[in-house]
Structure 1
Amino acid sequence: MELSVSNHSLSPLSEPETYLTQLLATVTAAVPTALALPALRQTATALVQEQTFPSPRQEAWRFSDLSGLLALAFQVAEPPSPSALEAIAAIPARPETANSRLVFVNGVYVEALSSRSALPEAVVVGSLATLYAQPDLQPEIERHLAQAQGHNEVFTALNTAGFQDAALIWVPRSVELSVPIQLVHYSLPVPEQTPVIAQPRTLVMAAANSSLTLIEEYHSLGEGHCFTNAVSEIWLAANAQVHHVRLQDEAKTTFHIAKTAVTQARDSFYSCTAIDLGARLARHHLETYQTGEQTNTRLYGLSAIAGDQLADTQSLISLSQPYGSADQLHKCIVGDRAHAVFSGKIYVPREAQHTHAAQLNRNLLLSNKSRVDTKPQLEIIADNVKCAHGATVSQLEADEIFYLQSRGINAEQAQRLLIYGFAMEIVEKIPVDSLRESLTQRVNQWMS
Structure 2
Amino acid sequence: MTVSLMDGLLEPVQARGRAALERLGLPTRRQESWRLSDLKRLGAVAQMELAQTPAERPMPEATAVRLVLDGIHDPLDGVTLPEGVTPVQATDLQQALGHTLDRCGCAGDWPVEFNHATATRILALRIRGSVPPLELVVNGGSGLVATRVLLLLEEKAELELLEVVLADGHAAHSHVLEAHLGQEAQLRHGLLASADGTASLLAHLTVEQEPRSAYALTSVVEGWAFGRVEPRVVQVDGQAQTTMKGLAVTSGEQQLATHTAVRFGGPEGELDQLQKCLAADRSHTIFNGAITVPREAQRTNAAQLSRNLLLSDRARVDTKPELEIVADDVRCAHGATVSQLQEDELFYLQSRGIAAADAAALLLQGACQEIVDQLPSAAQAWSPLQRVMKGLRS
Cα distance, 1:56 vs. partner? 2.5
CA distance in 2, matches of 1:38, 1:404: 60
The answer as to 2:158 corresponding to 1:211 is yes
Which residue of 1 is the match for residue 140 of structure 2?
187
Q: Counterpart amino acid of 1:75? A: E
The answer as to 2:354 corresponding to 1:409 is yes
CA distance in 1, matches of 2:97, 2:382: 34
Which residue of 1 is the match for residue 98 of structure 2?
146
Q: Counterpart amino acid of 2:52? A: E
Aligned to 1:441, what secondary structure does the other structure show?
helix
Match of 1:109 among 57, 74, 85: 74
TM-score computed with the length of structure 2 as normaliser:
0.92
Which residue of 2 is the match for residue 34 of structure 1?
7
Preserved contact between residue 416 and residue 447 of structure 1 (Cα < 8 Å): no
Higher relative contact order (CA 8 A, sep 6+): 2
Question: For 1:60-114, what per-residue CA distance to the aligned partner results, in whole angstroms no more than 9, with x for missing partners?
Answer: 101111213435742123244xxx5xx34x42233x22xx1111224643456x6
Which residue of 2 is the match for residue 58 of structure 1?
31
Residue 108 and residue 259 in structure 1: after superposition, are their counterparts in 2 closer, same or farther (change >3 A)? farther
CA distance in 2, matches of 1:162, 1:281: 19
Preserved contact between residue 292 and residue 325 of structure 2 (Cα < 8 Å): yes
Residue 176 and residue 342 in structure 1: after superposition, are their counterparts in 2 closer, same or farther (change >3 A)? same
Residue 436 and residue 420 in structure 1: after superposition, are their counterparts in 2 closer, same or farther (change >3 A)? farther
CA distance in 1, matches of 2:357, 2:111: 42
Unaligned regions of 5+ residues in structure 2, if any? Answer: none
Q: Counterpart amino acid of 1:183? A: L
Cα distance, 1:418 vs. partner? 0.9
CA distance in 2, matches of 1:162, 1:147: 19
Residue 35 and residue 243 in structure 1: after superposition, are their counterparts in 2 closer, same or farther (change >3 A)? farther
Task: Decide which moves more: 237-246 or 434-443.
Answer: 434-443
CA distance in 2, matches of 1:379, 1:300: 21
Cα distance, 1:250 vs. partner? 2.4
Which residue of 1 is the match for residue 380 of structure 2?
435
Question: For 1:307-361, what per-residue CA distance to the aligned partner results, in whole angstroms no more than 9, with x for missing partners?
Answer: 0111100010101110000011000111111100000011000000001001111
Which residue of 1 is the match for residue 116 of structure 2?
160
Preserved contact between residue 267 and residue 292 of structure 1 (Cα < 8 Å): no
Match of 1:341 among 281, 286, 292: 286
Preserved contact between residue 41 and residue 226 of structure 2 (Cα < 8 Å): no
CA distance in 2, matches of 1:138, 1:267: 28
Aligned to 1:49, what secondary structure does the other structure show?
helix
Which residue of 1 is the match for residue 185 of structure 2?
240
Aligned to 1:354, what secondary structure does the other structure show?
coil
The answer as to 2:130 corresponding to 1:176 is yes
CA distance in 2, matches of 1:382, 1:78: 51
Residue 71 and residue 205 in structure 1: after superposition, are their counterparts in 2 closer, same or farther (change >3 A)? closer
Cα distance, 1:40 vs. partner? 4.0
Aligned to 1:323, what secondary structure does the other structure show?
coil
Preserved contact between residue 10 and residue 120 of structure 2 (Cα < 8 Å): no
Identity %: 34
Cα distance, 1:38 vs. partner? 5.0
Preserved contact between residue 107 and residue 163 of structure 1 (Cα < 8 Å): no
Which residue of 2 is the match for residue 359 of structure 1?
304
Q: Counterpart amino acid of 1:166? A: I
Question: For 1:397-430, what per-residue CA distance to the aligned partner results, in whole angstroms no more than 9, with x for missing partners?
Answer: 1111112223332322221111111111101112
Aligned to 1:209, what secondary structure does the other structure show?
coil
Which residue of 1 is the match for residue 240 of structure 2?
295
Which residue of 2 is the match for residue 77 of structure 1?
51
Q: Counterpart amino acid of 2:116? A: T
CA distance in 1, matches of 2:176, 2:135: 16
RMSD: 2.2
TM-score computed with the length of structure 1 as normaliser:
0.81
Cα distance, 1:212 vs. partner? 0.2
Unaligned regions of 5+ residues in structure 1, if any? Answer: 4-30, 126-130, 132-136, 190-195
Which residue of 1 is the match for residue 86 of structure 2?
124
Cα distance, 1:367 vs. partner? 0.6
Aligned to 1:75, what secondary structure does the other structure show?
coil
Aligned to 1:158, what secondary structure does the other structure show?
helix
Structure (1 or 2) with the larger CA radius of gyration: 1
